[in-house]
């Protein structure tokens, strides 16, 4: 037990350092945590202490995965159904192009430029087709753009993009078995009843018991996540759908959402982003940098050349177009999941897996860094601030025992 607390203290120290660096550099905390994870892993490896970091410890993997699940749920909860309905054309077009352009482009590059076999090339195309919902939402949350129509459009397009990735992985590689059918049937049943059950629980027990709605949401997310993994799918997909379904409730009760957000961003997601950084092996990259550049360049450039003309149809401002395009060029959660799936099932070898994971993580850092430093649509930040103040003005006050009771 002493070892667990020691490892957790080291990781949380890295999280605190990341927060300080992010504040002074004025860039996203998610990106800083990834970079700090890379440097920490390199230093630990140099000192022969990499195993002491505990990157592969089951409990640390669980914390990191829980962070991804809850962050994905929050991203879905930020999507107002009405906003998505009014922007369905933009969300659908940008999301589908954002998937197909890198999927086909990177698969072709892997096969014809790098000489990978067909199955490995298709897997590479899937891994590099993603947009990182975790990174994008973290950036939206930090800037406040998640409250604007602009930010909601980006989050909606991210969902369509990643949905295409999940479907492609399942159709091309994952076996369709009775477990898949059970997962689909039970997920539809639970998600259909979720708004009613959540409203009933809120009416009967909220404001009277200790954070029962938070416990209820965690129960649903962990249960659906376990069912998804058992069926061969991924835990983050039902989490996003659950968030979307409860978006209306979340919009009406900001205190409840803030409690979940504090738990997620304050404790869980640092493990996720830092761990993603520790998976990068700098020595491996130095031995064959050209392969990495081909994969990373293929992902980012195919996204940019595929998306920018279509995003220009919906956004007139230059900074908005480039910011939108570059955030859609990121990748992390589904990309690393797809690469790990390919490695575990013998579709790609360890070397190919390493290059794919590194390219995915690189795409989480470089485009987002450029977007934040060069193309941040500052004129929309005023709108985000105004909406945040309006939301705060209508919030009900905390109950006397606010640290324990439901809001």
What pLDDT does 103 receive?
Answer: 97
**Rounded-to-integer distance, Cα 138 and Cα 133, Å:** 8
Query: Looking at per-residue confidence, does 15 or 252 come out higher?
Result: 15
Segment 117-129 shows an average pLDDT of 95
Residue 12 gets the label, from left (phi > 0), alpha (psi -120 to 50) or beta, of alpha
Closest of 90, 72, 91, 92 to residue 140, by C-alpha? 72
Q: Please compute the mean of the pLDDT values over residues 168-180 and round it to a whole number.
A: 83
Q: Which residues pair with 405 in a beta bridge?
A: 210
The yes-or-no verdict on residue 321 having pLDDT over 90 is yes
More confident position, 236 or 294: 294
Q: Is the pLDDT of residue 390 over 70?
A: no
Is 403 part of any domain?
A: no
pLDDT attached to residue 234: 76
Q: Binning pLDDT at 50, 70 and 90, where does residue 186 land?
A: very high
Lowest mean pLDDT among 13-22, 48-57, 278-287: 278-287
pLDDT at 121: 96
Q: What is the pLDDT of residue 311?
A: 96
Count up the domains in the chain and report the number.
1
Q: What backbone phi and psi angles, to 5 degrees, belong to 379?
A: -65, -25
Over the Cα atoms of the chain, what is R_g? 21
Is 193 a domain residue?
A: yes
**Residue % of the chain over a pLDDT of 70:** 91
- For residues 66 and 268, the answer to whether their CB atoms sit within 8 Å is yes
CA atoms within 13 A on the CB side of 48: 0
Residue 44 lies in a domain: yes
Q: Does 335 reside within a domain? A: yes
Of 67-76, 222-231, 303-312, which gets the smallest average pLDDT?
67-76
Domain-embedded: residue 407: no
3-state DSSP assignment of residue 251: helix
Q: What is the CATH number of the domain that holds 340?
A: 1.20.1530.20
Q: How far is CA 331 from the centre of its chain?
A: 8
DSSP string, 203-235: HHHTTTSBSHHHHHHHHHHHHHHHHHHHHTS-T
1: Cα within 13 Å, side-chain hemisphere = 0
The mean per-residue pLDDT over the stretch 231-255 comes to 79
Mean pLDDT of 298-305: 96
pLDDT band for 394, please (50, 70, 90 cuts): low
What local confidence, expressed as pLDDT, does residue 225 receive?
Answer: 92
With a CB cutoff of 8 Å and minimum separation 6, the contacts of 162 are 130, 131, 133, 240, 333, 334
Rounded Cα distance between 257 and 265, Å, is: 12
Q: Lowest mean pLDDT of 240-254, 329-343, 372-386, name the range.
A: 240-254
Q: How confident is the model over 142-152, as a mean pLDDT?
A: 86
Q: What is the mean pLDDT of residues 140-146?
A: 86
Render 148-177 in DSSP notation, one character per residue: SHHHHHHHHHHHHHHHHHHHHHHHHTS---
Nearest to 65 by CA among 276, 219, 240: 276
How far CA 81 is from CA of 13, 78, 168, 394, in Å, comes to 39, 9, 26, 20
Average pLDDT over every residue of 346-361: 88
Is residue 306 in a domain? Answer: yes
- Whole-number percent of the chain with pLDDT over 90: 39
pLDDT of residue 182: 94
pLDDT (0 to 100) of residue 243: 87
Mean pLDDT of 263-285: 84
Give the per-residue pLDDT at 223: 96
| pLDDT-derived band at 80, boundaries 50, 70, 90 | low
Closest CA to 294 of 114, 101, 107: 114
Has residue 131 been placed in a domain?
A: yes
Provide the pLDDT for residue 142: 83
Q: Residue 383 — pLDDT band, cuts 50, 70, 90?
A: low
Would 405 be classed as within a structural domain?
Answer: no
The rounded mean pLDDT for the chain is: 86
Domain range for 379: 2-393
State residue 403's pLDDT score: 39
The confidence score (pLDDT) of residue 183 equals 92
Distance (Å, whole) CA 117 – CA 342: 13
């Amino acid at each position: 037990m002493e070892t667990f607390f020691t490892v957790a203290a080291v990781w949380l120290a890295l999280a605190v350092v990341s927060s300080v660096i992010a504040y002074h550099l004025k860039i996203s905390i998610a990106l800083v945590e990834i970079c700090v994870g890379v440097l920490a892993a390199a230093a630990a490896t140099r000192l022969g202490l990499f195993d002491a970091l505990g990157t592969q410890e089951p409990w640390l993997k669980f914390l990191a995965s829980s962070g991804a699940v809850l962050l994905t749920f929050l991203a879905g909860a930020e999507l107002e159904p009405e906003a998505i309905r009014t922007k369905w054309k933009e969300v659908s077009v940008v999301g589908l192009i954002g998937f197909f352009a890198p999927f086909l482009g990177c698969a072709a590059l892997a096969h014809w430029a790098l000489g990978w076999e067909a199955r490995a090339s298709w897997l590479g195309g899937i891994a590099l087709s993603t947009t990182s919902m975790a990174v994008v939402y973290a950036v939206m949350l930090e800037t406040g753009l998640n409250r604007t129509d602009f930010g909601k459009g980006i989050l909606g397009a991210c969902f369509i993009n990643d949905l295409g990735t999940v479907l492609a992985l399942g159709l091309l590689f994952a076996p369709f078995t009775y477990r898949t059918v059970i997962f689909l049937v039970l997920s539809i049943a639970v998600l259909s009843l979720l708004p009613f059950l959540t409203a009933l629980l809120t009416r009967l027990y909220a404001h009277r018991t200790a954070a029962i709605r938070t416990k209820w949401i965690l129960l649903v997310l962990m249960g659906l996540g376990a069912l998804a993994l058992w069926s061969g799918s991924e835990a983050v997909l039902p989490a996003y759908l659950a968030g979307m379904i409860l978006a209306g409730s979340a919009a009406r009760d900001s205190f409840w959402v803030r409690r979940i957000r504090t738990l997620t961003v304050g404790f869980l997601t640092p493990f996720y982003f830092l761990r993603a950084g520790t998976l990068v092996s700098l020595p491996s990259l130095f031995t064959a940098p050209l392969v990495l550049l081909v994969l990373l360049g293929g992902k980012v450039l195919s996204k940019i050349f595929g998306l920018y003309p279509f995003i220009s149809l919906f956004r007139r401002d230059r900074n908005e177009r480039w910011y939108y395009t570059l955030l859609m060029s990121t990748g992390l959660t589904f990309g690393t999941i797809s690469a790990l799936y390919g490695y575990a099932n013998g579709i790609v070898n360890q070397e190919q897996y390493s290059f794919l994971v590194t390219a995915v993580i690189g795409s989480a850092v470089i485009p987002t860094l450029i977007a934040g430093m060069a193309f941040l649509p500052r004129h929309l930040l005023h709108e985000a601030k105004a909406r945040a103040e309006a939301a705060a003005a209508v919030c009900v006050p905390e109950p006397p025992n606010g640290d324990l009771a439901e809001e």
